[in-house]
């Protein structure tokens, strides 16, 4: 049950900006808000982790707001919520340790050297900065841009920026690894 629920929610999340764009002016926001909230609740129920309960609660509040007069603006705030949650997870890992990126790196390299741990910490900080930037851009496009601009940013540009960050980090990691001459520094 976990894999299908995750796959369905991932697909809806990726397609979400397009769904909002296609629905705006044609449907009641409830037609998107309620199924999205139900999917988020399903994911929380399947995963049974505090983060997913928090996410489902946030999505449910946005869905409720959209059905109670918040309209499409409430739905446009979903990417803001996602970025805020991701920022919270990554930032909390900086405080409590090990960082999210270090945990991912240790999946393939359990005995990370000290320089690799420091590198993963820096990458986690960079992701935090990305979530601040991307969440701010999502908020700005939600509040002051047309639905078309919001869709292009949140459904295309944000994903391209994320891919660019992954790509640049991969190239930097290869240089760091080559300079260190030691075990590979891997992570997602």
Rounded CA Rg of the chain: 18
Q: Which of 28-37, 115-124, 161-170 has the lowest mean pLDDT?
A: 28-37
What's the pLDDT at 3? 77
Residue 187, pLDDT > 60, answer no
CB neighbourhood size of 73 (10 A): 15
Question: What's the chain's average pLDDT?
Answer: 88
Residue pLDDT, tens place only, 10-46? 787 778 888 888 888 888 888 888 888 888 888 788 8
Residue pLDDT, tens place only, 131-160? 999 999 999 999 999 999 999 999 999 999
Within 13 Å of residue 134, how many CA atoms lie on the same side as its CB?
A: 27
The span from the CA of 185 to the CA of 119, in Å, is 8
What's the pLDDT at 39? 83
Q: Give percent of the chain above pLDDT 70.
A: 94
Q: Pick from 131, 134, 156: which is nearest to 17 by CA?
A: 156
Q: Pick from 124, 45, 134: which is nearest to 84 by CA?
A: 134
The span from the CA of 105 to the CA of 164, in Å, is 19
Burial of 121 (0-12, 13-18, 19+ CB in 10 A): middle
* Tokens matching residue 121: 């910490």
What's the pLDDT at 186? 53
């Amino acid at each position: 049950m976990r894999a299908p629920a995750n796959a369905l929610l991932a697909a809806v999340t990726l397609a979400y900006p397009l769904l909002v764009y296609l629905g705006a002016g044609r449907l009641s926001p409830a037609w998107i808000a309620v199924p999205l909230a139900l999917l988020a609740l399903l994911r929380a129920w399947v995963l049974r982790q505090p983060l997913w309960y928090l996410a489902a609660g946030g999505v449910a509040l946005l869905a409720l707001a959209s059905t109670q007069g918040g309209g499409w603006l409430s739905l446009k705030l979903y990417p803001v919520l996602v970025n805020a949650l991701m920022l919270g997870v990554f930032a909390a890992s900086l405080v409590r340790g090990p960082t999210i990126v270090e945990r991912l790196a240790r999946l393939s390299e359990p005995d990370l050297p000290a320089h690799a741990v420091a590198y993963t910490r820096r990458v986690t900080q960079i992701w935090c900065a990305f979530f601040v930037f991307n969440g701010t851009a999502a908020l700005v496009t939600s509040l002051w841009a047309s639905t078309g601009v919001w869709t292009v940013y949140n459904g295309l540009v944000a994903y391209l920026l994320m891919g660019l960050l992954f790509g640049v980090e991969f190239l930097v990691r290869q240089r760091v690894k080559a300079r260190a001459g030691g075990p590979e520094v891997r992570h997602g």
